Amino acid sequence: MEVNMEALSDYMRGKYRDIQEKVYEYFKGRPELQTPIEILKDDHRELCLKQLLGLVREAGIRPFRFVVDEPSKYFAILEAVGGIDMSLGIKMGVQYSLWGGSVLNLGTKKHKDKYFDGIDNLDYMGCFAMTELHHGSNVQGLQTVAMFDPITDEFIVDTPNDGAIKWWIGNAAVHGKFATVFAKLMLPSHDAKGVTDMGVHAFIVPIRDMKTHEVLPGIEIHDCGHKVGLNGVDNGALRFRSVRIPRDNLLNRFGDVSRDGKYTSSLPTINKRFAATLGELVGGRVGLAYSSVGVLKIASTIAIRYSLLRQQFGPPKQPEVSILDYQSQQHKLMPMLASTYAFHFATLDLVDKYSEMKKTHDDELVGEVHALSAGLKAYVTSFTAKSISICREACGGHGYAAVNRFGSLRNDHDIFQTFEGDNTVLLQQVAGDLLKRYQEKFQGGAIAGTWNYLRESMNAYLSAPNPVTARWEGEEHLRDPQFQLDAFRYRTSRLLHSAALRLRKHSKTLGTFGAWNRCLNHLLTLAESHIESVILAKFVDAVKSCPDESSRAALKLACDLYALDRIWNDIGTYRNVDYVAPNKAKAIHKLVDYLSFQVRNVAKELVDAFDLPDDVTRAPIAMQKEAYTQYTQQVGF
């Protein structure tokens, strides 16, 4: 199959390739800003700061203005910067999406006026201090307090016990001047308790002197130390002892305190305010899902370029064959390549939806972006984390040389599964959301947006599988997107329906919490199944919309492989309920192997279309010219 490379690259490029190229060009021209393979933690942190300063002050790329106004552009910069050094991507994310984003999204005009320029030009380096030693995922369990003092018109921020020490806070150990601190807002009251807890709010707390950079009185900061990866980011732990901040430092978009100590909010309950506050922070998740695809592109590009080059064994008296010609290598790498494409389109769509949500604040879209960002972040980052190890192994011994990148990619990316919401916790939000929609459906309500498909597939599920189609095994049928989508959706509907029944049954004896835990693995499978369905639907659309015929054909191969590989991975489920008869299961398996072989034949083109220059992939074994020579030179020959 001949693929029109220009057309395919164009289709994949997206609107913001120019700014990504500007990032690549800048770092190409500044070799002293390249992160060396071996670097000490403290040097890495300083280098990472220099990289960020260079990007903003020298290259003139100012990401902050895009955080709210043009998020797609912001995420494109984030992806490119992450390709330079993932620590840089995360440091930039801490500065602009977390610290900056909290000021813009949780604060009001007075905060924007006061802090925007300093955050933008990096004079005001800042932190996002949510996690505590004892509480990460359970944000409502945070214990830091901010007590209002009506006499001085200030809040007094305190760490009441060791468990409440803020932990893991990016930019805190060395560079941060400010922190957005999440704390329980306490107001003095006239009842027996003497205080009222208004729930978790965000406050701007200066942590270092603007001129001397000394840590301010009442604040104690320690370094969280050397980490498994991302050592260019200075994560620190903070303790507050009666630190006074002006009342104005409360980020007061969702709740405010007046001069005389009265609390006002447009939202009626602590839970609603908490949900609104956390809801404003989904941008971080969108960014991680999107950047994780960027990492997967780099890892799969290195592994596939090398697998095309590398030759081992062959038929007797004939030249050796490329290792990508082995079925086992195709099995490791081709479904991964297909998934990378699938995730590319799904996360681009998420970014578009997020940008739209930021403009319209439409309620339906807000709900959709929340569930989708949680699901995609969890699903994609888990997949990428596993894939990097597969890539390393697929490249044999040379995959283990640090210069070929898999070690740092794996170590730096690993934590994507945990921060901005632990994946297991996020998937539960997706499952909870699906159950809510399910109940709404049975109460006669409408199912819209991403969940739309459940309307039909739930009905299909509730009637028995069709014994005739269960036997259809022709390639045309198996490659029909309708069959693939129906199969994915059938599985989700089945898991959803059975989860709802099981939860109802167990909650009678175990209560809601106990029943949820009893069904937890089932619920996680449900969430993953839903996300896979959403991803497939986006991929199918992307194939259809591709204007160039040859690119469309290559994408269709990848899409079919993505779909059938997933069905094959879960074939037990389909067989158990006779959705797929034995002959069909066998045909699916054969077709997955055949499609892997077909995708192998366009693997070079599919990888090239990611358009990652050699100075971004950087692994010598994956250079597009003279890879072996560059590799030997690397070690000194």
Known binding residue 131? Answer is: yes
Q: Which is nearer to ligand FAD, 126 or 199 (CB)?
A: 126
Identified binder of ligand FAD from the candidate list 235, 249, 330, 339, rule CB under 6 A: 235
Each residue 556-595 as x (binds ligand FAD by CB under 6 A) or -, in order, gives ----------------------------------------
Identified binder of ligand FAD from the candidate list 11, 75, 148, 168, rule CB under 6 A: 168
* Pairwise CA distance, residues 513 & 359, whole Å: 37
* Shortest spacing between CB 622 and ligand FAD, in angstroms: 27
Nearest-CB residue for ligand FAD: 136
* Shortest spacing between CB 32 and ligand FAD, in angstroms: 26
Q: Which is nearer to ligand FAD, 92 or 230 (CB)?
A: 230
Residues 409-468 binding ligand FAD (CB under 6 A) are: 415, 418-419, 422, 424-425
Long-range own/partner contacts, residues 315-322 (CB < 8 A, 24 or more apart):
none
Closest CA to 81 of 230, 291, 288, 383: 291
* Pairwise CA distance, residues 420 & 101, whole Å: 13
* Shortest spacing between CB 197 and ligand FAD, in angstroms: 20
Residues 6+ apart with CB under 8 A from 519: 499, 502, 503, 506
CB 240 within 8 A of CB 181: yes
* Catalytic residue list contains 420: yes
Identified binder of ligand FAD from the candidate list 33, 49, 84, 94, rule CB under 6 A: 94
Known binding residue 525? Answer is: no
Q: Which is nearer to ligand FAD, 205 or 394 (CB)?
A: 205
Q: Is 227 in the site for ligand FAD (CB under 6 A)?
A: yes
Q: Is 89 in the site for ligand FAD (CB under 6 A)?
A: no
Closest CA to 481 of 539, 396, 395: 539
Residues 115-144 binding ligand FAD (CB under 6 A) are: 128-131, 136-137
* Shortest spacing between CB 167 and ligand FAD, in angstroms: 7
* Pairwise CA distance, residues 405 & 295, whole Å: 11
How far apart, in Å, are the Cα atoms of 19 and each of 76, 77, 317, 355?
Answer: 8, 7, 51, 18
* Shortest spacing between CB 419 and ligand FAD, in angstroms: 4
Query: Tokens in use for 396?
Result: 């044999």
Question: Hey, CA dihedral for 605, 346, 64, 420, is it positive or negative?
Answer: negative
**154, 368, 420, 473: which is the annotated catalytic residue?**
420
Closest CA to 427 of 372, 475, 473: 372
* Pairwise CA distance, residues 637 & 630, whole Å: 9
285-294: b (≥16 Cβ within 10 Å) or e: bbbbbbbbbb
* Shortest spacing between CB 105 and ligand FAD, in angstroms: 15
Identified binder of ligand FAD from the candidate list 169, 185, 427, 537, rule CB under 6 A: 169
How far apart, in Å, are the Cα atoms of 441 and each of 225, 366, 406, 426, 468?
Answer: 50, 20, 46, 23, 29
Judged by the rule CB under 6 A, the positions of this chain that interact with ligand FAD are 94, 98, 128-131, 136-137, 168-170, 227, 230, 235, 415, 418-419, 422, 424-425
Q: What amino acid positions are annotated as catalytic residues?
A: 420
